[in-house]
Structure 1
Amino acid sequence: MSRILYSLCGADASAPFSPHCWKVVLALRHKGLEFTERPVGFTEIPKVENGFSKTVPILKDGDALISDSFAIALYLEQTYPDAPSLFKGEGGLAMARFVEAWSLSTLHPAVTRIALKNIHDRLAPADQAYFRESREARLGATLEEVATGREAAIAAFPEKLTPLRNMLKFQPFIGGSEPLFSDYIVFGAFKWASQTGNTELLDPNDPVTNWYERVEAFTEKG
């Protein structure tokens, strides 16, 4: 069975950057499932699979089409129950929903204000026009106005990670002894920042940096 993951990229197709797509990449690796990634630009998404979804990620698994990163994780868990679990039970699923809410309400807005102009500058011209119009309408400010607060947003970012940092005093991963989908949710936000040229958010000695490296190593092993 062939699997295709449609993800998001800028002018450089070799550097997909969506946090939601990275969640699915790691979920597929966790499950040990082979797939082909096909990055597309913002304005190409409506053409994918006959307009199946307005957003990526989109997973095509044989005849099945699924959009939304959390929905894809649930699909993988239900469809491939014999592969390593992404949640390890009802508690892990509930935890993932909480972590998703925290990430979307705390991490994503922070990274958006830090990375916004960098993302725009990495897009193809057609995507730049779409991105500027849609993001400026959403934020009520120009990209340049948002960028003026970038340094302050970077300085404030480490404090937002205090809950994660405190938890890592007791266990190596959000999921416990091994990463689960909860880890991949948060990892996606950091990968998003990194892939868009924002590598200065964490001190190399921060426990969160060590956690990030452990997650990446776990999903790349074998």
Structure 2
Amino acid sequence: MTILLYDLVGSDPARPFSPHCWKAAMALAHKGLDFKSVPTRFLEVPKVEDSASKTIPVIRDGGKVVADSFAIALYLEDAYPDRPTLFGGEGGKAMARFIERWSQMTLHPYLGAAVLMEIHARQDEANKVYFRQSREARYGKQLEDVPAGRDSGLAAFRASLEPLRSMLSYQPFIGGQTPLYPDYIVFGAFQWVRVTSPFAFLAPDDPVNGWFERCLDLYDGLGRRVEAA
């Protein structure tokens, strides 16, 4: 049975952009599971699976509904133990929690602010109103003022990637010789920017960019099916 993945989109249903939904998509592909993306706009999220969650991703696997990207990964690992592991054991699950916190606290604040106006521009009119109101409440300022430090903060952002950059000198993926769920956590953050903005958040010769390109090639180029902005 095909798994349904409720996937956040803007006015173009073929351009899913949520970093968390991309984590789930890559986890499903890693497990070799058939899934169908269900394009879902911000204002449609409360209606997903009878209000199963305030946010997406949400998946439906037969009679099972699971919300939250990490919970989805844990579910897939337990429900399909005969398929390639996402974590490599209990220790891997614990370490993936660290990677998730690092991504949320180091990558997301800069990247999310940097492309905020581009994300807004990709919504239809009704969702633009929702997005502006919700994000201005979150940031405590006008939407247009949020990305003001994008260019001046780029060097510091790239410097913050040095632990990842250094690790990639030893191995091609965060998971080692092959990717694991922590790779998809970080991939989701970078894919979020790639599909919404032409902003060059990584230098072409950065080893992190090389890793990102390898991730884009995974699973018959799943990440590349959405063209870069």
Q: What do residues 156-202 of structure 1 show as CA deviations (whole Å, max 9, x unaligned)?
A: 32112111001111111110110000000000000000011144111
Which amino acid is 1:213 matched to?
A: E
Partner amino acid for 2:91?
G
2:139 aligns to what? 139
Deviation at 1:143? Answer: 0.9
Q: CA deviation at 1:44?
A: 0.7
Shift of 1:221: 6.6
TM-score, with normalisation over the residues of structure 2? Answer: 0.94
RMSD: 1.3
SS of the equivalent of 2:49 reads: helix
After superposition, what is the alpha-carbon deviation per residue over 1:63-92, rounded to whole angstroms, capped at 9, x for unaligned? Answer: 000000000000000000000000011221
AA at the equivalent of 2:178: E
* Offset, 1:153: 3.0
Q: Percent sequence identity over matched residues?
A: 54
SS at match of 1:148: helix
1:18-33 alignment runs, 5 A limit? 18-33=18-33
Query: What is the CA–CA distance in structure 2 between the aligned matches of 1:153 and 1:132, rounded to whole Å?
Result: 23
- 2:124 aligned partner: 124
Query: The residue matched to 1:152 in structure 2 has which SS?
Result: coil
> When the two structures are aligned, how many residues end up with a matched partner?
222
Measured in 1, the distance between the counterparts of 2:196 and 2:163 equals 25
Q: 2: distance between equivalents of 1:99 and 1:194?
A: 20
Structure 2 match to 1:192: 192
Shift of 1:148: 2.1
Q: Distance in 2 between matches of 1:173 and 1:110?
A: 23
**What does residue 57 of structure 1 align with?**
57
State the distance in 2 between where 1:91 and 1:15 align: 34
Q: Letter of the 2:163 partner, please give it.
A: P
Matched with 2:83 is: 83
User: Where does the alignment leave 5 or more consecutive residues of structure 1 unmatched?
Assistant: none
In structure 2, the CA distance between the partners of 1:137 and 1:221, relative to structure 1 (3 Å rule), is closer
Confirm or deny: 8 A CA contact 1:2 1:35 kept in the other structure: yes
Query: Which SS does the other structure have where 2:151 is aligned?
Result: helix
Name the counterpart of 1:179.
Answer: 179
Find the aligned partners of 2:7 and 2:163 in 1 and give their Cα distance.
29
**Aligned equivalent of 1:204:** 204
Q: Report the TM-score when normalising by structure 1.
A: 0.96
Stretches of structure 2 lacking an aligned partner (at least 5 in a row): 223-229
Range with bigger deviation, 147-156 or 18-27: 147-156
Paired position in structure 1 for 2:46 = 46
Gap change, CA 1:221 and 1:203, over 3 Å in 2: closer
Q: CA deviation at 1:36?
A: 0.4
State the AA in 1 paired with 2:83. Answer: A
Q: Distance in 1 between matches of 2:205 and 2:138?
A: 35
Q: How far, CA to CA, are the matches of 2:138 and 2:98 in structure 1?
A: 24
Residue pair 1:8, 1:56 contacting (<8 A) in 2 also:
yes
Within 2, Cα distance between the matches of 1:220 and 1:161? 27
Runs of at least 4 residues off by over 6 Å:
none
Cα deviation code 1:108-161 (max 9, x no counterpart):
001111011110011111111111111111111111111222222334321121
Q: Secondary structure at the match of 1:37?
A: strand
Q: Secondary structure, in 3 states, of the residue corresponding to 1:36?
A: strand
CA distance in 1, matches of 2:215, 2:105: 22
